[in-house]
Amino acid sequence: MGAFRERRHLIPYRSALLPSIFTDTLVIGSGVAGLRCAIEAARGGEVIVLAKEPLELSNTSWAQGGIAAAIDDADSLESHEGDTMEAGAGLCEPEAVHALVTEGPAEVRTLLEWGMRVDRDQAGTISLGLEGGHRHHRIVHSNGDATGYELARVLLERARREPRVRIFERCFAVDLILEEDADASKAAESRARDRADGPRRVTGALTWHPRHGLQLIRAASTVLAAGGAGQVYRETTNPRVATGDGLAMAWRAGAVLGDLEFMQFHPTTLYVAGSHRALISEAVRGEGAHLVDRSGRRFMVERHPMAELAPRDVVSRAIVEHLAATHEAHVFLDVRHLGSERFGRRFPGLARMLAGFGIDPGRDLIPVNPAAHYTIGGVVTDGAGRTSLPGLFACGEAACSGVHGANRLASNSLLEGLVFGRRVAGAILDRPLPRPAPRDFERVVPVMDRAELDLTDIRQSLRSAMWRHVGVLRDGAHLRDVEDMFRFWARYGLQAVFDDPAGWETQNLLMIGTLMTQAALLREESRGTHTRADHPRESPSMAQHRLWAIDWESPRLVPVGALARAVS
């Protein structure tokens, strides 16, 4: 199977000059990873942060789960590391996991110094929660279920106090700028041997703003922290901004992507007709909630020794299989034994949300189903966030550092954004690149009439197909059907020309959905989040990362422990 190939840029070229802005570091994305990187990188120069929507619309702000860190005397770094490796189902990169857990406690201390409010007991000690896959209470929460909101507040306040950080809201990154790198290192030349156009360096991004239109932001270093691709699925906990833009830009530029078959599905999202698939935090099960079917039976007890606190992939798969066997529409979370008052104190945000649907958790069962939650694969990086393209870094959900393996451990994602966001900035400061030289660019404008396609229909059809056939349970026959269908759509959908984010986002979703489907088809086993009905067991021969690049004829396999070297 050859790699999925399409044109390099979403917008074709035509003569005229585009305005340019210059900076030392361009960060694409305003979640935890992007802001942590920007704050640190500002110590060495000017930083521009792009947010394609208002700042509150990020996976970070929406995160109910907490920050996992071994800060309790009864806990240990080795235990956190072991839990992370076990959840990752044999694909975690040991060096990345070690960096995550050993550097995590210092990041938590830094947040506390910056004024982050966390839940504490009456004695003032930090209250640590328990979530699926963890063997110790090590989850730091804020206001019960609003950790992401509080974390985003603290990071934004800190970033706004940095005089060398500028934040551009409603600024959409369309594509990365690529220039020939006359001073490319030997390593860069080696990476570019199979490319006809020689070594290239990323020097910023082409952007679009509703008031300023198209412009170039040119940078010495460019950081992709644009989050994941949860919106490629019909059922998702992700906000509308999570359309895989960072992954698609990196793919078109020629960067190496990896582990795209691994999408984590959160097992418990509110299942009420007409509502957003609001996440019911893992911490609810950590507080003692039970998963039951319509008859009241706790079906997870017979599925895993940790029952409701089993890793997310185990719980999601159990729910889907139970629904298939019982022909029911959803299952339930039973928290009635906690009582309304206790639930409201522990999870005030969830209690208010449920009340809006007339659900009293002290009296009523909460209808839930799985939904797409976290994109595990992404742009392949080394331990400092460097990608296969000079000048381009990645961190957070957009990156594939190997820290999550085949299945992310609960509450490791915010920690990952903090640790690796800072690590990327450290790499930029350690070896600063020169700002790109001024040069004339052709203005990028449509060379044909704007495409008249029903974007809503394309997006809905794409997301439904992904949910039905590239979701929690998969099989080869349906994956091949979806791949053929997406390739047909690509003949016109990816060749069309658009002039606003709605069209570009749809093209990005189609591109990433196709790549995810191809990756899922080639992994003929069940591992971590990836479950194949026609290959129900793990295969030892497939305990490898699968890497993709637009310039390669076919994907490449890299053994565990060698992921960072694949881009060095």
Residue type, 291: L
Closest CA to 279 of 370, 408, 342, 412: 370
The backbone torsions φ and ψ at residue 49, rounded to the nearest 5 degrees and listed phi first, read -110, 125
For the purposes of burial, counting CB atoms within 10 Å of the CB of 340, is it exposed (0-12), middle (13-18) or buried (19 or more)?
A: middle
- CB burial readout 183-207, b (16+ within 10 A) else e: ebeeebeebbeeeeeebbbbbbbbb
Q: Cα–Cα–Cα angle for 140, 145, 146, nearest 5°? A: 85
Q: Which helix (H) or strand (E) holds 292?
A: strand 290-292
Find out whether 370 and 269 touch, Cβ atoms under 8 Å: yes
- CB burial readout 488-497, b (16+ within 10 A) else e: ebbeebbebb
Which H, E and C letters describe 189-221, residue by residue? HHHCCCCCCCCEEEEEEEEEECCCEEEEEEEEE
Task: Compute CA distances 154 → 220, 417, 423, whole Å.
Answer: 27, 14, 19
> Radius of gyration (Cα) for the chain, nearest Å?
23
What whole-number distance in Å separates Cα of residue 552 and Cα of residue 156?
Answer: 39
Catalytic residue (one of 191, 312, 422, 523): 312
Closest CA to 131 of 123, 139, 120: 139
What whole-number distance in Å separates Cα of residue 223 and Cα of residue 218?
Answer: 12
**158 is an active site residue:** no
Q: Which helix (H) or strand (E) holds 228?
A: none
Give me the helices (H) in 470-500, please.
Answer: 476-493
Token pair listed for 244:
């895989």
Please list the active-site residues.
312
